[in-house]
């Protein structure tokens, strides 16, 4: 891809941040607002395809309507010399792929914290009718304050179209994270994102994806024939949730990212929401020394995320009772202590 003009209207391009098969991303500056941004430029060999360009801009508009702390914000879209671009929030930090390459497998509590944030972002997108289709470590960005951001919503469906229109049988994203139905060309729903997040979480715990494949064909064969290797030094409860997300049959997986997040939150006492132990029944191992919860902005963010997912899951499960009409769960305020007390009162009221 040739070097683009350094000015795209009000946006000044600076350093190249990354380049993939679909697009390149540059650090930029919005000169009207004086804020840093990330600018994604569609690759030239796709920019000449009217259908790809149309889908690229359409999906960017849909992604631009999402407003959630765990999703990279889309600020603007445009086109310059026939090449469309997307202007997004600049996430100062690193991707999960970078973190894994540097540190290897993560401690289970940390892995669950990150997965919970991804669940919250994906659930918001799914409720808006947008399936990511390419959840992988490189598309999960960690800001310096610990906030995880799901990236590339605006290009996922376009990548699927490009695969179909230009390179039949080529890999969309990284093959190792594709759900079986997606790899086999079947219907892709939100449960494909649940599977992909399960594969990411498996890698965070094991240091490798559940299936390592260099092509879609190799992945399909592996998913059909191979058994997923057990996780080492991981509590059975957490391993069970991960394997649940990785079920081959979409109907056998969690119904939603919120349900996955609710069950993940139950597997650890090391989240900032551990204060719930004071007012609700939480299973812990006898004489286990539980570390103090982390504090600061990162703790507040993760606390609000976990509380939101637990409340959503509780509301769904209680709402399935035909003879009861539960009140809506309390809204997260951003304060783990306040939210924990409100949620505990709500849960006690629903159990009467």
* R_g of the chain computed on alpha carbons: 21
Residues involved in catalysis? 134
């Amino acid at each position: 891809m040739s070097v683009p003009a350094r000015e795209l209207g009000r946006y000044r391009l600076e350093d190249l941040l990354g380049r993939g098969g679909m697009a390149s991303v540059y650090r930029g500056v919005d000169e009207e607002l004086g804020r840093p941004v990330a600018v994604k430029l569609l690759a030239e060999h796709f920019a000449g395809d009217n259908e790809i360009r149309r889908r690229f801009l359409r999906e960017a508009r849909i992604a631009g309507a999402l407003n959630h702390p765990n999703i990279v914000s889309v600020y603007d879209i445009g086109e310059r010399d026939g090449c469309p671009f997307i202007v997004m929030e600049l996430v100062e930090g690193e991707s999960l792929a970078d973190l894994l390459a540097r540190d290897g497998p993560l401690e289970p509590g940390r892995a669950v914290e990150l997965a919970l944030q991804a669940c919250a972002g994906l659930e918001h997108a799914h409720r808006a009718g947008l399936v990511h289709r390419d959840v992988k470590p490189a598309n999960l960005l960690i800001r310096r304050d610990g906030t995880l951001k799901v990236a590339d919503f605006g290009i996922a469906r376009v990548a699927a179209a490009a695969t179909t229109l230009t390179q039949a049988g080529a890999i969309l994203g990284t093959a190792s994270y594709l759900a079986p139905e997606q790899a086999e060309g079947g219907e892709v729903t939100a449960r494909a994102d649940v599977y992909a997040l399960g594969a990411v979480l498996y890698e965070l715990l094991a240091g490798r994806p559940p299936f390592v494949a260099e092509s879609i064909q190799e992945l399909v064969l592996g998913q059909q024939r191979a058994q997923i290797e057990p996780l080492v030094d991981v509590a059975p409860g957490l391993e069970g949730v991960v394997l649940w997300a990785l079920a081959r049959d979409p109907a056998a997986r969690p119904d939603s990212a919120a349900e996955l997040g609710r069950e993940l939150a139950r597997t650890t006492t090391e989240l900032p929401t551990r204060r719930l132990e004071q007012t609700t029944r939480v299973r812990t191992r006898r004489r286990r020394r539980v570390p103090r919860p982390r504090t600061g902005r990162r703790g507040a963010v993760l606390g609000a995320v976990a509380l939101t997912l637990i409340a959503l899951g509780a509301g769904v499960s209680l709402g399935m009772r035909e003879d009861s009409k539960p009140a809506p769960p309390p809204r997260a305020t951003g304060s783990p202590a306040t939210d924990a007390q409100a949620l505990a009162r709500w849960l006690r009221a629903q159990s009467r």
